[in-house]
Homo-oligomer: A and B are copies of this chain.
Amino acid sequence: MRLGRIAQPEGLSFAIIEGEPGSLVAKEVPHLFQPEPTGREFTEDQFKLLAPTLPTKVVALGRNYADHVAEVFKESAEHLPPTIFIKPSTSVIGPGAPIRIPDFATNVEFEGELAVVISKVSKNIDPENWKDHVLGFVICNDVSSRDLQFKDGQWARAKGIDSFCPLGPWIETDLDKFDLDDQKINAYLTHDGERVQKQDSNTNQMIVKIGHILAEISQSYTMLPGDVITTGSPAGTAPMTPGDTIEIEIPGLGSLINPIERA
């Protein structure tokens, strides 16, 4: 099942999203965690997809793909283990919303990532039972100003600026839909009207696997329902400039598309 959040003519709703882009149907439900249709339905021309969850925090794992560690840090992943950082709730935007780049954030890159949405208050998750704590998968674009990232040392600003955390287009709740050891992650950047594939990777490159990521993060932080954990970016990240459009695609999970604007 695909769960989303929508703006419709009468307000905001959570909804089951069915069909394919161009002929989507949204069947309203009371809540992400109570997905029984109310009977109200909207066709794609009647609604706009929003970020499917409103997390209190997005916890991210940096340096979790060896190929990305090599390209960004010019270092072997052996010497730079994965590290945890936080993107604040105010950085979250939905599909189609602009990523707005302020003047001081230079060299801004996309990072297409597979993320999970937490389903219940969770602490000390058992890595074997991680699915008991997850509502579903979502695509995350971990937008990052490389210049601020290296200048600040801490990544909270470079990766936490308003609009630097697109989430969407919806949450896939079928946790067995993917082979998590062999799931493609693609990113396509449209610049000057030309669409070029930039990320062409696979979760088989992940260093720490999902169960252990959730275990490690929930040792430190109580995770709340709707919170997001994103699992790191593979190689292929590249700079974006105002006027571009970035599309992160995870086959089976959909495409998260956002235009780039100057803030």
Contacts and interface: CB of A to CB of B under 8 A. Distances in A.
Contacts of A221: 88, 90-91, 160-162
A260 interface: no
A211 B157 CA distance: 18
A223 to B, nearest CB: 8
A102 B154 contact: no
A219 B152 CA distance: 15
A36 B220 CA distance: 38
Nearest to A121: B90
Contacts of A156: 59, 84-86, 156
A162 B59 CA distance: 14
Copies in the complex: 2
A224 interface: yes
Contact of A123 (B84, B123, B155, B162): B162
Q: Which of A83, A90, A123 has the most chain B CB within a 10 Å cutoff?
A: A90
A62 B152 CA distance: 10
Interface string A128-162: 00000000000000000000000011111100111
B84 A152 contact: yes
A220 B160 contact: yes
A90 B57 CA distance: 9
A241 interface: no
A128 to B, nearest CB: 19
B56 A154 contact: no
A155 B157 contact: no
A89 interface: yes
B83 A154 contact: yes
Nearest to A153: B83
Contacts of A89: 56-57
Interface in A39-98: 56-57, 59, 62, 83-86, 88-91
Nearest to A82: B152
Nearest to A218: B162
5 contacts: A88-B221, A123-B162, A157-B220, A160-B221, A161-B221
Given A84-B154, A90-B223, A90-B224, 20 more contacts: A56-B56, A56-B88, A56-B89, A57-B57, A59-B88, A59-B156, A62-B154, A83-B152, A83-B154, A84-B157, A85-B154, A85-B156, A86-B86, A86-B88, A91-B221, A153-B153, A156-B156, A157-B220, A162-B220, A162-B222
